[in-house]
Amino acid sequence: MTNPITPEASKPDAVIQQLNLGYNVQQDRLLLRVGLSDDTELMLWITYRVARLMWQLLNGETHLPTADSIQPDVSPASAVAQFKQEAQATESLSKMDFSTKYQPRKGIRNDGALLAIELKLSGDTVKHLDVVCLEGVTVGVNLPPALILALCNMLQLSVRESGWNIGAKVMPQPVLNADAPADELTNINKVLH
C-alpha cells in the first residue's frame, strides 16, 4: 500500500520554490531537498542506482551538453540540430540561480528523509515524476522543463563530487574573464536553486 505525498494531497497546494541536491559522503548517497511554498520541504535520499535511473529518465528532456553528446557517426544536420538544442539549454541554465544558499523550511513532510527506490516518469508537456520510497510512500512531483533542466544540472554536479559514473559526463566549466565588468559576472536572473 502506498501513501502518496504530494503538495496537493496532505496539505494545501504548494509549489516548488527551491531545490538542493548534494552528496553525503557518510551515507554515500545524494540528498534531494525540495523547498515548498508552504514552508515545508521534502527530503529524499538517492542511491547510485536511482541517480542513474533519474539521469536516464530526465536527461533526454534537457539536451544538456555532455562530454560525449555528439557522436562522430551522426549526420551533420543532426549534429547541428543537437548543438542548437544544447546551446538553448545552456542559455536557459545561465538564467537560473544556482548560487543562492538553500533555505531550510520549518517543517519536513513525512517527518524525515525518505529512501527512493524506484522512479516513474509520465506526462507530455509537464512531466510528472513519481518517486517510490522504501517506506511505502510515493512522492509525486510535477516537473516543467525548467525544473527538469535544473535538476539534471544539479545531478551532474553532485555526481562529479561523488565520483559515481551515471553517464553524466560534465563539460568542463567555462573560465570567467576576470577583466569583464562586474555586472556581467553577477547579473543572473534568480529563478530557482
| 112: alpha, beta or left? (left if phi > 0; alpha if psi -120 to 50) | left
| d(C-alpha 19, C-alpha 163), whole Å | 21
pTM of the full predicted structure?
A: 0.71
Q: pLDDT (tens digit, 9 = 90+) per residue, 150-161?
A: 898 888 888 888
Helix (H, G, I), strand (E, B) or coil at 4: strand
Q: Where are the beta strands (DSSP E) in 67-158?
A: 107-108, 114-122, 127-133, 137-143
| d(C-alpha 44, C-alpha 19), whole Å | 11
In the prediction, which pLDDT does 67 show?
58
Looking up cell 554536479 gives 157
Contacts of 176 (CB under 8 A, 6+ apart): 185
Least confident of 8-17, 59-68, 74-83, 140-149: 8-17
DSSP β-bridge partners for residue 122:
128
Name the average pLDDT for the chain. 77
Q: Return the percentage of the chain with pLDDT > 90, whole number.
A: 26
171 pLDDT above the threshold of 70: no
| d(C-alpha 151, C-alpha 154), whole Å | 5
Show me where the domains of the chain are located.
3-186
Q: By the 8 A CB rule, do 113 and 27 touch?
A: no
Q: pLDDT (tens digit, 9 = 90+) per residue, 110-126?
A: 778 899 999 999 988 88
65 pLDDT above the threshold of 70: no
94 pLDDT above the threshold of 90: no
Closest-CA residue to 86 (of 166, 161, 177, 171) = 171
In the prediction, which pLDDT does 31 show?
94
Q: How confident is the model at residue 49 (pLDDT cuts 50, 70, 90)?
A: very high
DSSP β-bridge partners for residue 170:
66
Helices (H) and strands (E) in the chain, counts: 4, 8
Mean pLDDT computed over 11-18: 74
Q: How far is CA 181 from CA 132, 144, 184, in A?
A: 47, 34, 6
